[in-house]
Structure 1
């Protein structure tokens, strides 16, 4: 990956270039940003730039410099096979695979398929986690830390990329913290997160934070045009507008539109059941919800939260919303009448609590049943 591949975020890229040229490279950096904004692309482009043997500098471009993309180091970073590039990411134990390293082939295939734009739900779908929950375990941390004892094989700077750092198990965090306090020479930790508030303060205090901006609509379109040119401009524009500038969702829209429509259909059915407060219907939909697997359950609830906020925006005429089709638009215009200012915070709270309970391995059928009654009662007040 190169800096030119990062969607938007020119100021952040130039800041990283300037700090590298001045030799002020913090040994541990946290890249923070929303899903689908290109955090992993930035991390990989930065790692490639730092180790490039023939950097390219521009006098008249928006980006001040970039890696050459041609030297031996760049080519190995591009293929994600550089011996001094290491990854940690959430996995589930399956088929005797217990470490990120065991999934490295799938990881490379996934990154190539998604052009570096990655998302937790699409990664879990790719490795088929089913009813398990992904995490970064103590063994995973120990495995990557053990590689720090060896001298760099080729790179000037060894790079450890930890994607979705919020998924590090609580008991694994102290292992990482000790290493951050006593860093190995010529080693760079790049942690990536979508929710910095869930990272232990003691870990955050050892990190230099990089906050990425959500790409503009134009940046999103240009990225999709460069990487998915087989699709028409209309398809690309629809993907951008229907994903709310989340490139992970935009790519899924292009390849798996039917899956996104399933979430829409689920939301519509659920809201109608909640409004009727029909106990039998709530039990049925709760059973269906329990059958889809824990990671997908959390994803569905997160998407429902976004859609309820969308209805609130329509109700209060905040901004302009896009829809998949006229049928969805009609539903939201009618549904938005029931999303009142006084109840939006309560609905958001109930959804957040339901997600937390699922993460703690609570009974999903019971959780969703209680959530449905809570939301339904709010519609009636």
Structure 2
């Protein structure tokens, strides 16, 4: 389960100016990454927020400290940009909007996911449990997936009113004019922001410095998210960025190099997944489920939060191999297995 939102014990560091008039805020989140990077961009008309954290007491306190440290009042916030629907980026958007009255801006491609994951009455948690059960996850784990989703839903309330933008639109933040780029993979509607004059890329979770963004196959998302992610990397890697500001951890100065490292990482993981399938068939004579591949690909997982993302990423790699023609999906007795083609 997610950690208790009132008891994570995290306390964020002071805002850091990472570019002229741009501050990075470390907002505590109740998941293993511990912090998400939010950004405050100063402009003549007011301040632009980029990403927000889960809505928890810890996050509220971190926002209040950061705004106070910079001498920013709620009414000084003029827009809240959310790069994608994941709760560590989306969760505080409605709360900040309530404080400031500022519009919340997201890419229109993300609207279906916001509705499916965060609006009341959607069977998302139950659907995820059924989906993972078909791929071999034990019943004692799938039984808890709906509650895990309800925990996350509680930490994105209140929901914001969103103004939807399109790829190619421009989002102004003071003198900066960011080009909106659609970069799916980590999320179907993930948006990165490119400022060509300053050569500044707000990359959120497309490119991270020391870890690989999670690329997961979920039942409501794109059927081949890893292919989408690798295409997004190819599309942005040649941008002449001087500075990349990611959604987690430290800034990046070599965009092309890091994008190539991430592509290599996934090539190695695809080879590993294919090898696991091959060995399972050689040793047992039976094609493995995604759950069985996951246990070897990622090893022991200490909580359901990490298990969900490990399973999602395992499936993303297996389905990519199916699309390449290296594996075939075989279903019997309502269980999906992966065999060599």
Q: Which has the higher contact order (CA 8 A, sep 6+)?
A: 1
Higher fraction of strand: 2
Select the structure that is richer in helix. Answer: 1
TM-score range, shorter chain: 0.3 to 0.5
Alignment TM-score, normalising by the size of structure 1 = 0.34
Q: Which has the larger radius of gyration?
A: 1
